[in-house]
Amino acid sequence: MELLEADSLAKSFTVKEGPVFRKSPKTVIALRDVSFKVKKGEVFGLLGPNGAGKTTTIKILCTLIAPTSGDAFVNGHSVTRAPQKARQDLGVMLTGDRTLYWKLTGRENLEYFSALYHMEKELAKKRIEQVLKLVGLEDRQNTLVENYSTGMRIRLSFGKAILHEAPVILLDEPTMSLDPQSALLIREVIQDLRRSGHAIVLTTHYMEEADQLSDRVAIIDQGKIIALAPPAALKESVMKSETIDIEARNIDPQVVEKLRGIDTITEVTSFVEDASSMKGMIKIHATDAKDAIPELLGVLVKGGVEISNVKVAEPTLEDVFISLTGRALRD
């Protein structure tokens, strides 16, 4: 039973460029024909880099913005023709901590939102106690949100989204900026929500999180879904190539580019985590890793790249993304 459906969603914005006295309008396409369905008891991962269209999709689904064309249905209710009914069946967590009222305590925030959800008073009181315990804020429930840490605000925002136990839950980057323990807590709650029969849309740019939680994953890039399948099936699609992960310093993009000249190498990407030392990762797809490694190491060492670790790995969802787009998710 599908509880959520996106049907050919498209969204474009008109922006102005140039000096104030001669600005010319430009159309920016944020979404292109995005369609998917999410059934009861399913976690649907929406995976892509920043700016790919993940948050735009979530904002359309929760009626914050209207699509340029297409429609979506929450528990059978159109988000364009019956937005109020659609909102009643939604729990939403959006990116950013300004979705809470900072001059209220954690408990007061939940009491306020329970009233907006028209929850019966006794039920709301009981549910607020459960949620505060679930997200680990029992001891800080009477503290003003402005005095919460970033992690505490994210956990409270997550608690707000699940407060009224809506059939459809939209989670936009729910573990961003969280410490490992808090992120693990939220992932465990998401697993429990799936077992309880909720339909969950999870946007993330953390490949491992999408792989761990999602029953199906849609990879979105430049506003368009370029792949949609269970994580295992997506990874199977790139099994024909092997992945070589190289940790290194002094990564020179021009030297890395030379690797493309090796016959057995099909794709090369790199990213730098520390600009001062040019330390980062080089990720290589090869049809025969054993054959490619000696030659590629020779190219890198000759080019002055300092290699600290080389690993041949099983394909990941990031490898699927690289295979489909020719670039890393971080690009």
pLDDT digits (tens, 9 = 90+) for 248-286: 999 999 999 999 999 999 889 898 988 888 999 999 988
Give the closest residue to 210 by CA, choosing from 294, 321, 107: 321
Give me the CATH code for the 240-314 domain, please.
Answer: 3.30.70.260
Q: Above 60 in pLDDT, residue 3?
A: yes
CA atoms within 13 A on the CB side of 101: 11
> Per mean pLDDT, which of 109-123, 198-212, 283-297 is the most reliable?
109-123
The reported pLDDT for the residue numbered 75 is: 97
pLDDT of 79 > 80? The answer is yes
Which residue is listed with tokens 């879904």?
225
Confidence of residue 58 (pLDDT cuts 50, 70, 90): very high
pLDDT digits (tens, 9 = 90+) for 164-198: 999 999 999 999 889 999 999 999 999 999 999 99
User: What is the arithmetic mean of pLDDT over 28-40?
Assistant: 96
Q: Where are the domains of the chain?
A: 2-234, 240-314
Q: What is the CATH number assigned to the segment(s) 2-234?
A: 3.40.50.300
pLDDT for res 96: 67
The mean pLDDT of 218-237, rounded to a whole number, is: 91
Out of 104-108, 161-165, 242-246, 306-310, which region has the weakest mean confidence (pLDDT)? 242-246
Mean pLDDT of the chain: 91
* In the predicted structure, residue 163 carries a pLDDT above the cut 70: yes
Q: Quick one: tokens of 88?
A: 């009643």
Tell me what the mean pLDDT of segment 73-92 comes to: 97
pLDDT at residue 20 above 60? no
Q: What are phi and psi of 330, to 5 degrees?
A: -75, -15
| Integer angstrom CA distances of residue 92 from 70, 87, 99, 101 | 21, 9, 10, 16
- pLDDT at site 295: 95
Q: What DSSP line would sit under 50-80, residue for residue?
A: TTSSHHHHHHHHTTSS--SEEEEEETTEETT
Query: What is this structure's pTM?
Result: 0.79
DSSP 105-174: BHHHHHHHHHHHTT--HHHHHHHHHHHHHHTT-GGGTTSBGGGS-HHHHHHHHHHHHHTT--SEEEEEST
